[in-house]
Structure 1
C-alpha cells in the first residue's frame, strides 16, 4: 500500500495490539502512511520498537509500548499513555492472538487451552474495555476485531482457537449494541488464511487465497475510515480471489 492516501486517517490516533509482526505490523505501517499517529503494542518490545521506528523513519508519528493483553492493568496503562501523549484515541485494532493448543481435546493441556482463550478472547475484552473511556471522550471511534473463519468451522485440534474466535464474534456483537449510542462502531475483520508466524506450521486450505499480511491492509483501512453511521458489528471477510 505504498500509494495509501496520506490524509485518509489524518489527525487520528490508532492503538494496535500485536503490532510487532504479521497482520498487526502491516496495519500499523499502513495506518501511519494514511496519516494516523500509531501506538504499537505487543508483548515483544524489540518487535514493536522496530515497527514504530519504521514509521518514524518514513516521517510518521508512532510510539511502542509493551503490553500483554492478558494483563488488564497493562492494557489500561497502554491506553492512558496513548491519551496522555497524543490527546486521545480514535481507532483500536484488537489483533493480538495465539494458537498455543493445537491438539485434540482428549489430548489437550488444560492450561494451554485456557491460555488461548485468555489471550484471544479475554485479551480482546481487556482491549475494548480499556479503550472505551478514551473513545467516548473523543465522541466517536472505531474498534476493529481481527477474527477468524475458524469460529464456525470445527477442525480436529483447533477447539481452543475456534472457541476463542467464536466468543470474539459475540463480543463484537455485544460491544456494537452497547456502544452504538456513543457513536463507536465495532466490526470484525476476518482475513482468512495469511502467511504469519501464527500459521507457519499450519496446512493451508486447498484452493484458498493464501494472503500476505499486506493483503489485509485495504480492508483494515476501509474499516478505520468508514463513517460512524449505519450498521455495525458486521463481519468483513477477505474471500477467495476469483
Structure 2
C-alpha cells in the first residue's frame, strides 16, 4: 500500500474533496484524522472508512483558531507518533463580484480567512514534520492566471494567495525534507448538488476539457494519494494539473 503506517490530518474532512482524499488515503493504508466544524459529516466519512477496513478519527476543530489547531495537531502527533500528511480543504468565503463594487471589509474578511487558515495549519504540521525530516503538505484548488475573467472577485485572488504561500513554504521547508504541493482540476461536476440548476454548469466543466470528461472525486483521491506517497517524492513547489485539459499549461 502507498501510505501504510502514515498519518494524515485533513481539515474540511467532511466535505466532498476532504472525503475523496480521506477515503483514498485510508484505502492505501493511512490512518486519517478528520477535522471540521460539522460532527455529523465528519462521522459519516469516518464510518465509511471504517466499514471498508480503514482507520479514521474525527474532531471538531475551527481551522481559524490558533489554539484549537495547534492543540489538535499536537494531540494527533502524540497519539500517532508524528504527522506525515497535512491537507486543508475548508471552504473559502468566495465573493463573486467585481472588485470595483466590493466592500473593503468584505474583501478583507475573505482574504484574512484564507491567509489565516493556511498559515496556521501549515505551521502546525511543519513543526512536527521538520523534527522527523519528512512530510507532505497538500493544497487543493491551485490558480490559473491565464484563465482569469471578470467577476471572479475573491476567488482567483484567494487561489493566487494560497499558491504564493505554497511556493514560499516549499522554499523554506524543502531543505528540511518537507514537500509542499497543490492540485487544480478546472471543476468537478460531482461536487455540485445534483439538481436541475447545476446541470448547465456541470456540462460547461466537461465542455471546457480536451478529453471531453472532467475529473471525478475518485480521480482527486487517487492522485492525492500518489502525490503524498513516496512515489511522488521528487515533486515539490508545483501545481499538479488534473483538469483533463481544461487548464492548459
Could you say which TM-score interval applies, normalised by the shorter chain?
Answer: 0.7 to 0.9
The equivalent residue for 1:3 is none
1:222 matched to 2:226? The reply is yes
RMSD, matched Cα: 2.5
138-147 or 219-228, which deviates more: 219-228
The two structures have a TM-score, normalised by structure 1, of: 0.87
**Superposition pairs for residues 91-240 of structure 1, below 5 Å?**
91-150=85-144, 153-195=147-189, 196=191, 203=201, 204-205=204-205, 206-208=207-209, 209-226=213-230, 229-240=233-244
- What SS does the corresponding residue of 2:57 show, helix, strand or coil? strand
- State the alpha-carbon separation in 2 of the partners of residues 119 and 53 from structure 1: 30
The equivalent residue for 2:63 is 69
1:46 matched to 2:50? The reply is no
Distance apart, 1:78 and its partner CA: 2.1
Whether the 8 Å contact between 1:149 and 1:192 is mirrored in structure 2 is no
- State the alpha-carbon separation in 2 of the partners of residues 160 and 188 from structure 1: 19
Whether the 8 Å contact between 2:215 and 2:243 is mirrored in structure 1 is no
- Structure number with greater Rg is 2
Whether the 8 Å contact between 2:12 and 2:36 is mirrored in structure 1 is yes
Q: Name stretches of at least 5 consecutive residues in structure 2 with no aligned partner.
A: none
Q: How many residues align?
A: 236
CA separation of 1:67 and 1:157: change in aligned 2, threshold 3 A: farther
Q: Deviations over 1:195-214 (max 9, x none)?
A: 32599869344423433322
CA separation of 1:128 and 1:114: change in aligned 2, threshold 3 A: same
- State the alpha-carbon separation in 2 of the partners of residues 228 and 137 from structure 1: 21
The two structures have a TM-score, normalised by structure 2, of: 0.84
Distance apart, 1:56 and its partner CA: 1.8
More helix by share: 2
Distance apart, 1:159 and its partner CA: 2.2
Distance apart, 1:101 and its partner CA: 1.3
